[in-house]
């Protein structure tokens, strides 16, 4: 009964323009919660997520209020905030989240098969062995690989974003944080290679410190949440509101074009957002157009190089309320690509960064933990705050439970790497039974007429087939049609 009452009060506070959270700090509440009760509308599948996060929001905003604001809070609101704080710290809210949203797990079983983590296979399976096999080395390798990936979470206490009073992205910045993690991995692969692991006892690599500094929480950091919001205004990004994967990908495209004070691009690679059409509105499986990829590289190098390192982002919608089951094996296979950067996605209304799979499990890094802002120094001997950018808790959820709106990332170091990616992507399309995640073609037809037939046997990427292929869009009209954000 206590929990039921708490739920009702949280929902009431979400839909009321006179809620106690607004009294405490109206600037720290996501935009949808500022609507009057008669106009209260929740995004798809986010009602329960809102109920869960609101308790944390109250505790967070209450604790950050000034002394004068605290005096203005009615005693009833203060008592409610204290009650929520007690529930949260006591673990009841975590159990409530797990019952409503589904729990994440941390167990790893060798009987579930090997683990693929961003293109690397960690051998822990006993299925193909006879007798006892020591899988400890495989597990240790996976744990070290997982904990070396950069984690970017909610932060509090940074400088206000633009002209707003927001000093935290709690409850609304998870998609931005997920995208930061994906780009951070691309930079690590670019600067240090896929085999790099965060050292424990020896000095840290300068390149690693440089990457972390790019994602600081201030306008001085090239890829901060401040600069992402500024770059994404044309795609609907706004402080305090959620954003979809397509708009997030396009925002990175805009931000990557901006030059620093030295006239250099902030991202040391070209970026190519792969979609069914330039505006992302047209249906059909998106097409990786080799001609367009080459053009992006040429533009990035100002015509000085035929090819450059390339970041590919593929925003997708794989169903309505859940991922169509036919896409699950295809998603799983993308983690076997050596170029894999994982998936920006997660539960509906709660974006995460998915970096690995084991059979039906999806391993992810969670941006929803709230941490105090830190400033990473350039000292490689005793850097401060780097531990907050890593996690050794290996959470996973069922792969078929993720939100159908997502974005897949790939990093291609050079032309040979890109060609290998195209070859693997084409093989995957051939195995899709007419419903590929994306296809590959050589050139873009000026008339934009359809020439790809995803239901046939010639979806594959073959050098001799290029003259007959273009980057038009598939027009298969069945229940598995693609939609792009």
> Is 366 annotated as catalytic?
yes
262's CB contacts (< 8 A; 6+ apart) are none
Tokens 């999806």 -> residue: 362
* Vertex 336 angle, CA 323 and 305, to 5°: 105
d(CA 92, CA 73): 25
Which residue in 15, 25, 174, 412 is the catalytic one?
174
**CA 482 to chain centroid:** 20
Is the Cβ–Cβ distance between 428 and 328 less than 8 Å?
Answer: no
**CA 228 to chain centroid:** 14
Which residue in 122, 226, 368, 396 is the catalytic one?
368
Q: What is the DSSP string of 251-302?
A: HHHHHHH---TTS--SSSSEEEE--SSTTS-S-S--EEEHHHHHHHHHHHTT
Tokens of 403: 């939100």
d(CA 343, CA 178): 9
Count the Cβ atoms, other than its own, within 10 Å of residue 305.
11
Tokens of 154: 């909610």
d(CA 34, CA 15): 8
> Is 471 annotated as catalytic?
no
Tokens of 250: 């396009």
Is the Cβ–Cβ distance between 269 and 182 less than 8 Å?
Answer: no
Tokens 């050079």 -> residue: 414
d(CA 81, CA 428): 51
Kind of pairing between the strands at 439-441 and 287-289: parallel
Tokens of 103: 């729990």
d(CA 186, CA 174): 19
d(CA 366, CA 303): 39
> Is 107 annotated as catalytic?
no
Count the Cβ atoms, other than its own, within 10 Å of residue 406.
23
Name the burial class of residue 356, with classes exposed (0-12), middle (13-18) and buried (19+) by CB atoms within 10 angstroms of its CB: buried
d(CA 65, CA 52): 21
Which residue in 25, 292, 366, 470 is the catalytic one?
366
Task: Calculate the alpha carbon distances from 194 to 145, 210, 214, 311, 382 in Å.
Answer: 10, 17, 19, 15, 24
Is the Cβ–Cβ distance between 24 and 54 less than 8 Å?
Answer: no
Just list the catalytic residues. Answer: 174, 366, 368
């Amino acid at each position: 009964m206590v929990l039921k009452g708490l739920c009702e009060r949280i929902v009431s506070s979400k839909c009321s323009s006179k809620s106690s959270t607004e009294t405490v700090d109206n600037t720290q509440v996501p935009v949808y919660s500022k609507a009057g009760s008669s106009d209260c509308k929740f995004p798809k599948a986010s009602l329960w997520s809102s109920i869960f996060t609101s308790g944390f929001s109250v505790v967070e905003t209450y604790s950050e209020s000034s002394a004068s604001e605290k005096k203005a809070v009615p005693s009833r609101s203060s008592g409610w905030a204290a009650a929520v704080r007690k529930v949260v710290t006591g673990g009841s809210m975590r159990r409530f989240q797990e019952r409503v949203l589904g729990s994440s797990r941390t167990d790893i079983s060798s009987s579930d098969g090997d683990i693929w983590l961003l293109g690397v296979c960690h051998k822990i399976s006993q299925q193909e062995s006879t007798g006892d096999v020591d899988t400890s080395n495989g597990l240790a390798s996976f744990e070290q690989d997982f904990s070396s990936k950069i984690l970017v979470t909610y932060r509090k206490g940074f400088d206000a974003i633009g002209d707003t009073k927001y000093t935290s992205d709690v409850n609304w910045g998870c998609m931005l944080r997920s995208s930061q993690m994906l780009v951070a991995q691309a930079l690590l692969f670019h600067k240090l290679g896929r085999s790099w692991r965060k050292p424990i006892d020896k000095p840290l690599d300068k390149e690693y410190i440089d990457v972390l500094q790019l994602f600081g929480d201030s306008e001085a950091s090239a890829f901060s949440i401040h600069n992402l919001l500024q770059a994404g205004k044309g795609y609907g990004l706004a402080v305090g509101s959620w954003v979809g994967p397509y708009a997030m990908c396009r925002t990175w495209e805009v931000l990557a074009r901006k030059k620093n004070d030295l006239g250099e691009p902030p991202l040391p690679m070209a970026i190519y957002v792969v979609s069914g059409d330039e505006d992302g509105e047209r249906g059909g499986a998106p097409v990786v157009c080799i001609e367009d990829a080459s053009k992006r590289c040429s533009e990035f190098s100002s015509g000085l190089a035929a090819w450059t390192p390339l970041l590919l982002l593929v925003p997708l919608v794989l169903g309505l309320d859940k991922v169509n089951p036919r896409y699950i094996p295809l998603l799983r296979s993308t983690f076997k690509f050596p170029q894999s950067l994982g998936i920006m996605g997660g539960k509906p209304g709660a974006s995460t960064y998915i970096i690995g799979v084991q059979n039906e499990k999806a391993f992810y890094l969670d941006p929803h933990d709230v941490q105090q802002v830190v400033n990473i120094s350039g000292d490689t001997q005793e850097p401060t705050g780097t531990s907050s950018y890593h996690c050794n808790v290996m959470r996973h959820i069922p792969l078929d439970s993720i939100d159908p709106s997502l974005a897949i990332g790939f990093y291609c170091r050079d032309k040979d790497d890109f060609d290998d990616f195209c070859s693997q992507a084409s093989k995957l399309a051939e195995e899709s039974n007419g419903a590929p995640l994306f296809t590959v073609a050589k050139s873009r037809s000026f008339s934009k007429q359809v020439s790809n037939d995803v239901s046939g046997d010639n979806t594959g990427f073959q050098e001799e087939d290029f003259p007959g292929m273009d980057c038009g869009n598939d027009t298969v009209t069945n229940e598995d049609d693609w939609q792009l954000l």
